[in-house]
Amino acid sequence: MRLRPEIIALPAYKQGKPADASAFKLSSNENPFDPLPGVIAAVTAETAYNRYPDASALALRERLAAKYSVDVDEVHVGAGSVALLAQLILAAAGPDDEVLYSWRSFEAYPSLVTVAGATSVRVANRTDHGHDLPEMAAAISDRTRVVIVCSPNNPTGTIVTKDEFEAFMAVVPTDLLVILDEAYIEFVTQADAVNGPLLLARYPNLVVLRTFSKAYGLAGLRVGYALGPVDILNAARSTAIPLSVTAQAATAAIASLEAETELLARVRIIAARRDATWQALTRQGWNMPAPQGNFLWLPTGAETTSVAEALGETGLVVRPFPPEGIRVSIGEEDAVATLLLMSADLVEALPADHAARQIG
């Protein structure tokens, strides 16, 4: 069969490992809280399965447009923000074009670029695991069609500051699409972090991506949104697979916006649990970046597989990215307690000069 060789060569999408009933699934940055009863009721009431959904999810877009004080056409809804990433990359980049992003970052970026027929250009994260925006700006070429900035960055948990982002945008050509992926923005507590929607009016080349999967706990229903200029979003709409956002997903998203106060209170609990865990790990001797998403990054390097296996043996299913590190989602309280029981021994067992250990 004559299939595209670059597609055949792609590794299959690797989902976070499932966990059996006695284990904690900390491998996909999911929200550990059960859905709110009101959200379940709204979804359950949506029974017209024999009908196609509203193709543009207008009711949800109206809610989001009001929330962000933008026009309804400056909002585009997709079946998860990963679908929006795919659409935007397809809209802007094809064969001979480059898509630039920091690495390591969200594991879907490389394959989405390859599927579009374009070429990935990766700029290494700084040694503190954050984006190196000056290096990224320097890597822009005549062929660059998209730049992806991820804040907080999956999997390192670092943010891009507002000042860093503005300095970056000042040197990026205004006809080059910049996607600011803010899948975890609701968990951010650092005051100087970039906040995309506040900058939209300033940049004609900026699209901000957000999702209901993480803070709002709707990962299983698949709904996310893009905010940005109408011309760019219309191009994304043209590359979209029509009718992908179900009525149930749009309804759940609207019900979640209505229950935002309650949901954001849960987000604050997860963020507090994250900060307490990071502080405890740091006290144990771990050297790791301050986390701003709903996950932690253990830069275990060459020891990544063995540490992930040790965690797995105690019932913590985490996400190893050998040979760089391990991403651990902030899940249930008991999961965090289990992690902290083991992590002191694990850091002690690392070589004395290991990057994941504090010096001295």
Ligand X SMILES: Cc1ncc(COP(=O)(O)O)c(C=O)c1O
In the complex, the residues that contact ligand X under the rule CB under 6 A are 29, 80-82, 106, 150, 154, 181, 183, 211, 213, 219, 224
Task: Identify which of 327, 342, 337, 353 has the alpha carbon closest to the alpha carbon of residue 28.
Answer: 327
The Cα 178–Cα 181 span in angstroms is 9
The residue type of 279 is Q
> What is the rounded distance in angstroms from the CA atom of residue 149 to the CA atom of residue 151?
7
Which residue's CB is nearer to ligand X, number 219 or number 259? 219
What is the nearest approach in angstroms of ligand X to the Cβ of residue 329?
10
Smallest gap from residue 178 Cβ to ligand X (A): 15
Closer residue to ligand X in complex, CB, 126/143: 126
φ, ψ dihedrals at 175, nearest 5°: -100, 15
Task: Tell me how far, at minimum, the Cβ of 109 lies from ligand X, in Å.
Answer: 9
Distance of alpha carbon 223 from alpha carbon 246, whole angstroms: 9
Q: What does the alpha-carbon distance between residue 102 and residue 84 come to, in Å, rounded to a whole number?
A: 19
Q: What is the DSSP string of 254-266?
A: HHHHHTHHHHHHH
Q: What span, in angstroms and rounded, lies between the C-alpha atoms of 57 and 66?
A: 14
Report in angstroms how near the CB of residue 25 gets to ligand X at its nearest. 13
Q: How far is the CB of 129 from ligand X (least distance, A)?
A: 14
- Nearer residue to ligand X within complex by CB, 292 or 343: 292
> Least distance from C-beta 256 to ligand X, angstroms?
13
Q: Which is nearer to ligand X, 86 or 346 (CB)?
A: 86
User: Quick one: 145 or 222, whose CB is closer to ligand X?
Assistant: 222
Nearer to ligand X, 154 or 292 (CB): 154
Q: Which residue's CB comes closest to ligand X?
A: 80
* DSSP notation for 6-58: HHHTSPPP-PPPP--TTSEE-SS----SPPPHHHHHHHHT---TTSPPPTT-H
Tokens 């900390």 label which residue?
Answer: 26
Q: How far is the CB of 220 from ligand X (least distance, A)?
A: 9
Nearer to ligand X, 164 or 181 (CB): 181
Helix (H, G, I), strand (E, B) or coil at 102: strand
Q: Which residues pair with 75 in a beta bridge?
A: 227
In terms of CB distance, is 106 or 187 closer to ligand X? 106
Tokens representing 137?
């700006």
Report the nearest approach of ligand X to the CB of residue 181 (Å).
Answer: 5
